[in-house]
């Protein structure tokens, strides 16, 4: 794919990593943020990531921080937004962006769960708007969900899929714009039941995680649930569902157990306690083991 001019809006956890991936792929990338400190740190943050990954740091030269939104997006081929998860903020931002860009500039949101239709509904040219849902850290997790709305043109989807494929990502086309898209619907169906098991006193939080990590979690990277159903037989899957589905949590709202953790200020790592207590050392160990695991998976995939 020929080199594009790309603007990333938001220089936070996701934005700086997305900018890094596109710069490494050879694209010129401007990055805009309203907080000067985040822009000041941007290139050193990306250089440090690249050093950690053992990759060439010269890609940093293709990343240009811009405080001014107009300067960041004028003349670009593609804009991806990664600001706070706030519908009104995203809507306002895209209205501003649309006033600066060409009619054919593709506009993407990296929202985690908000329907793209809600974010883009007020645009004048909705055929060039879509979602691209990346996973953290963007430079280590391969998937990017490319979300089509009722208005998105097939050309915009095809171009965006190819942009990400050529940058070494694994794009997945989401053909209907539903809350949570594919990945987060699946992930949070699991989290709902994980929380219910603790809430109902069936086991503690540590046991839920241990059970997953030592069983189907081991297989998930190579055996998806539908491959697994075919492997064991759809007749067995049906027999299992007839017994287990009536018993698992199907409440259409957040668990009261989760709501109480939040109202008690038990916010997880940031407060030292969530479902479990976390010392700074335990937090550092878990983070380090996650990064080591993701790097090892990437290295295995890249091995000749
Ligand atoms: N963190 C994750 O694991 C993850 C994964 C996938 C998607 N997302 C989504 O990506 C988006 C960003 O998440 P994050 O974790 O990077 O958040 P973050 O808080 O780390 O970064 C958000 C950045 O946006 C900037 N910002 C806010 N308003 C702005 C504006 N008007 N113009 C320019 N910059 C502005 C902030 O200063 C901040 O630097 C959210 O929609 C989130 O739901 C997050």
Q: Is 8 in the pocket of ligand 1 (CB under 6 A)?
A: no
At 59, is the pLDDT very low, low, confident or very high (cuts 50, 70, 90)? very high
| 149-159 confidence digits (pLDDT tens) | 999 999 999 99
First-to-last alpha carbon distance for the chain, in angstroms, is 23
Mutate which of 8, 9, 10, 66 for ligand 1 pocket (most atoms within 8 A of beta carbon): 10
Q: Is the pLDDT of residue 278 over 90?
A: yes
Q: Is the pLDDT of residue 304 over 90?
A: no
At 302, is the pLDDT very low, low, confident or very high (cuts 50, 70, 90)? confident
Neighbouring CB atoms inside 10 A of 43's CB total 20
Cα 253 to ligand 1 centre (Å):
25
45-54, 145-154, 263-272, 294-303, range with the lowest pLDDT:
294-303
Residue keyed to tokens 């080199």: 3
Residue 262: the pLDDT is 98
At 303, is the pLDDT very low, low, confident or very high (cuts 50, 70, 90)? confident
Closest CA to 107 of 180, 169, 157: 157
Summary mean pLDDT of the chain: 97
Contact 15, 45 (CB under 8 A): no
- Nearest residue by C-alpha to atom 33 in ligand 1: 33
Q: Is the pLDDT of residue 226 over 90?
A: yes
Task: Tell me the C-alpha distance between 287 and 68, whole Å.
Answer: 34
Mean pLDDT of 252-268: 98
Residues recognised as catalytic: 112, 133, 145, 184
Mean pLDDT of 10-35: 98
Q: Is 197 in the pocket of ligand 1 (CB under 6 A)?
A: no
Rounded to two decimals, what is the model's pTM? 0.96
Task: Tell me the C-alpha distance between 122 and 217, whole Å.
Answer: 41
Integer CA distances (angstroms), 293 to 14, 141, 224, 298, 299, in order: 19, 11, 19, 9, 10
């Amino acid at each position: 794919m020929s080199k594009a001019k790309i603007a990333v809006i938001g220089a936070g956890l996701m934005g700086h990593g997305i900018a890094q991936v596109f710069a490494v792929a050879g694209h010129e990338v401007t990055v805009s943020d309203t907080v000067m400190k985040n822009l000041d740190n941007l290139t050193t943050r990306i250089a440090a990531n690249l050093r950690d990954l053992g990759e060439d740091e010269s890609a940093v030269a293709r990343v240009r921080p811009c405080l001014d939104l107009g300067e960041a997006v004028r003349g670009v081929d593609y804009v991806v937004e990664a600001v706070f998860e706030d519908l009104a903020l995203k809507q306002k931002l895209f209205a501003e962006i649309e006033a600066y860009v060409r009619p054919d500039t593709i506009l993407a949101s990296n929202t985690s769960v908000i329907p793209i239709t809600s974010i883009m509904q007020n645009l004048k040219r909705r055929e060039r708007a879509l979602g691209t849902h990346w996973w953290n850290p963007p430079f280590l997790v391969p998937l990017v969900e490319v979300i089509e709305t009722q208005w998105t043109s097939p050309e915009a989807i095809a171009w965006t899929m190819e942009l990400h494929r050529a940058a070494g990502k694994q794009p997945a086309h989401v053909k209907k714009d539903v809350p949570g898209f594919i990945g987060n619907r699946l992930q949070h169906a699991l989290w709902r039941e994980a929380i219910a098991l603790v809430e109902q006193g069936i086991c503690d939080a540590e046991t839920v995680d241990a059970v997953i990590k030592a069983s189907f979690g081991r297989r998930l990277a190579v055996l998806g649930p539908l491959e697994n159903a075919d492997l064991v037989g759809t007749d067995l899957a049906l027999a299992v569902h007839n017994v287990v589905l009536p018993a698992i949590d199907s409440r259409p709202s957040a668990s009261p157990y989760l709501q109480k953790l939040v109202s008690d200020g038990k916010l997880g790592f940031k407060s030292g306690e969530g479902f479990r207590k976390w010392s700074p050392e335990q937090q550092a160990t878990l983070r380090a083991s996650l990064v080591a695991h993701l790097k090892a998976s990437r290295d295995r995939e890249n091995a000749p």
